Structure 1
């Protein structure tokens, strides 16, 4: 009988394995130099347009950096890639922690690559509010998909972003599309009342649910349910099949409580098992039906234009906030006002008004 503990996952680490003596020191030195070398914007652009995943990863790293020099190079790369983007379908996937998002995405991604599609997964991992660290373990969880030549997985930390969508996910989508990926999957950290940002950058919003966890009543609430184009009840296998079917009936009833969608699409509910892959084909069929309808009635392009406008305003807000906090004079005054507020010498509102007035004065002086 096979020992169940003998199975090794990607998390397994062998002990006592030393580096083989036959590795050339020259090769190690060469690889180290290559890793330290920073490619130019032109090299990154050419690599991305040629479908090079390494160039794509390096460009996304630049986009996510807060270093002004990195951001300047990233802007050049994004602007050059922009004409080659906008040629994919963008699928947002969310659900409560433990619903099996990573397992579902791997099964779904493998199904799509089996159809000849190129799939990019932008997975957002939660960041610790204490250490600000993030595990970024999606490549480990998706053991099969990560080895697929037609797939690309990029985990990013959510940081302090409300809703669990990384600050630069939007730019990463553009780079992935320019690299030739025709299906972009955006996985969020988990579902909550504030987690709606993914809806603003995806063409299709898929909500994963599980049966038997009180989810049926939660699903009737407004908020995230109103934005779902498809509800997929995962883990519909084994003894859970009957519960999943009952949950499907409950969710179908709850969907009728919501007003019709602007897209003309009637949201659907289906079941699947990411473990056995049952129902995965039906999920893709629902997506194809949605894209066929929205592209025919013009809603697909309309939504893309609305999203572009939304992200213009979001970028302006972000830049204003960054400029405000990175201003050295404001930083000094901010610390002074913080102490005054803590000691009840100044109200938070008055302190904020004073800071904004000083910040506004900097622009007035530049204009004069």
Structure 2
């Protein structure tokens, strides 16, 4: 596949969806030559037209079956109705066995997928920790360069490792269904501590009273958490929404805007973006080091040393040290 980086760059800056899709496919590729081109493209897009484009990045997580796709379709439609351009990066779970994904988010958001001001891109998680593809951060940067005002990053589901989405988001929204105390116990404290807004979905019909109780439970739980410097008075908070009836969406959006405005005015926005850039630098270094273990030479050495450990001829610590010394020296024999 021939890739013209300059042509891709021009297309993205003009908001060409086809160019954006091709660019995201490029950054998701694991081929070394594609990785080099992807890095070149992302670098070229930084202020490509003289404008530093910054979208509002909203990370969205929630328990399975909570209605994330229905919420995103309603919420995204409300934003496009206000003249905003919305990109949705929906990460689908990958099979640990085959690596395959269903990638059905686009079919679940049929109405939003046909909206000219919306762009939906399902991507496989590829078994990455946190349910966020390793290259999701670069895909977010591409969407910003394409002129989208809001980028929604939907993750696989709730879990301790899901907090990685906070490292590429300006706001983190946790979507929960009406439930009793059992769900409050089941949600990890780590997720609670990074959430900016908790939305109790399905607050309609027979579930409305249960949603109200759940909202009160979480509001009380949030007040017990340690105050964070990046929060104004009253945050983080819990609110009720109904994706089915499209209620509560505008108040939730209003709170997101208020929080964003306060963080910009008080220096937390730029500080957070800087901290995230440092975090991803560290991740790139770690992933680069791990990739050295995937070479044929490293795999052969691991097999050889692993057999020695299994037979009791050496210890795991000594074998690991020898492998690392071989990698550092680039020596694979003897």
Q: TM-score range by the shorter chain?
A: over 0.9
From 284, 290, 308, give the equivalent of 2:277: 308
User: Are the structure 2 counterparts of residues 140 and 341 from structure 1 closer, same or farther at C-alpha, using a change threshold of 3 Å?
Assistant: farther
**In structure 2, the residue corresponding to 1:329 is in which secondary structure?**
helix
1:160 positional shift: 2.6
The match for 2:196 is 229
Gaps of 5+ in 1: 1-36, 364-368
From 293, 299, 305, give the equivalent of 1:337: 305
Distance of 1:164 and 1:330 partners within structure 2: 27
Bigger shift: residues 43-52 or 325-334? 325-334
Distance of 2:213 and 2:90 partners within structure 1: 30
From 47, 55, 60, give the equivalent of 2:19: 55
Distance of 2:206 and 2:311 partners within structure 1: 60
Please tell me whether the aligned partners of residues 53 and 147 of structure 2 are also in contact (alpha carbons under 8 angstroms). Answer: no
The reply on whether 1:73 has 2:37 as its aligned counterpart is: yes
Aligned-CA RMSD value: 1.5
The reply on whether 1:351 has 2:315 as its aligned counterpart is: no
Q: Which has the larger radius of gyration?
A: 1
The match for 1:41 is 5
1:69 positional shift: 1.7
The match for 1:10 is none
Distance of 1:42 and 1:353 partners within structure 2: 44
The match for 2:328 is 360
1:193 positional shift: 1.6
The match for 1:12 is none
Distance of 2:318 and 2:103 partners within structure 1: 41
Please tell me whether the aligned partners of residues 86 and 174 of structure 1 are also in contact (alpha carbons under 8 angstroms). Answer: no
The match for 1:321 is 290
Q: TM-score, normalised by structure 1?
A: 0.85
Number of corresponding residues: 325
1:77 positional shift: 1.1
The match for 1:215 is 183
The match for 1:120 is 87
Distance of 1:132 and 1:311 partners within structure 2: 24
The match for 1:17 is none
1:327 positional shift: 3.4
The match for 2:137 is 170
Alignment of 1:133-282 (within 5 A): 133-212=100-179, 214-219=182-187, 222-265=189-232, 266-282=235-251
- Post-superposition, which runs of at least 4 consecutive aligned residues in structure 1 deviate over 6 A? none
The match for 1:287 is 256
User: Are the structure 2 counterparts of residues 299 and 59 from structure 1 closer, same or farther at C-alpha, using a change threshold of 3 Å?
Assistant: same
Distance of 1:86 and 1:348 partners within structure 2: 49
Gaps of 5+ in 2: none
Please tell me whether the aligned partners of residues 231 and 259 of structure 2 are also in contact (alpha carbons under 8 angstroms). Answer: no
Distance of 2:311 and 2:103 partners within structure 1: 40
Distance of 1:147 and 1:311 partners within structure 2: 33
